[in-house]
Amino acid sequence: MARQTVTESEYEVMKILWEADAPLSLGEILKSLSSDNKWTRNTVGTLLVRLCEKGVVSYERKGKSNLYYAVLDKKDYSMSETKSFLSKLYNGSVGNLVASLFESREISHDEIENLRKIIDGKDDE
C-alpha cells in the first residue's frame, strides 16, 4: 500500500480503531477519545469520512449505524512514518539519527548498549 498521510486528529481516531477488538460505531469512537479534547460528533464523523476516502478505514453497515474498522495496519503505518521521518531529517540513516540523539543527550549509553544487543541478536540476555 502506498504511503498514506494521516493528520494528528485522524491519528487519534486510528489509535482507537487499532486497539479495538471489533468494528466501532461513531458513538463508541467518540466515547473512547480522550476527555481533555473537545471532540464533537460532527468532527469525528468528518474525520471518519476523510479516513474512508483515504482508504485507511472502512465500515460495515449494521442496522442504521456504520461500524468502522482500520484497513491500514498499525505496524505498516508506523514503518512508513519512520522511513519518511528518517529520509526527511537524516538522509535515511538510522546512524545519523542515533548520533543526533546522542549528541543532544537524548539517548544514554545504556540505551545504545541495548540497541547493540538488539542488532547483534542478543536482546534476550
Where along the chain do its domains lie? 8-70, 74-119
- Looking at CATH, the fold of the domain delimited by 74-119 is given as Penicillinase repressor fold (1.10.4040)
Three-state SS letters, 63-115? CCEEEEEECCCHHHHHHHHHHHHHHHHHCCCHHHHHHHHHHCCCCCHHHHHHH
Chain segment 79-125, per-residue pLDDT in tens: 888 888 888 888 888 888 888 888 888 888 888 888 889 888 865 54
Locate 43 and state its grid cell. Answer: 468532527
Place of cell 519512520: 82
How would CATH label the architecture of 8-70? Orthogonal Bundle (1.10)
CA distances from 67 to 23, 25, 73, 84 (A): 5, 5, 17, 31
Matching CATH topology for 8-70 and 74-119?
Answer: no
Q: Are 117 and 123 in contact (CB under 8 A)?
A: yes
Helix/strand number for the chain, H first, E second? 6, 3
Chain segment 107-119, per-residue pLDDT in tens: 888 888 888 898 8
Place of cell 542515533: 98
Q: pLDDT at position 3, please? A: 60
Residue 66: pLDDT band (50, 70, 90) is: very high
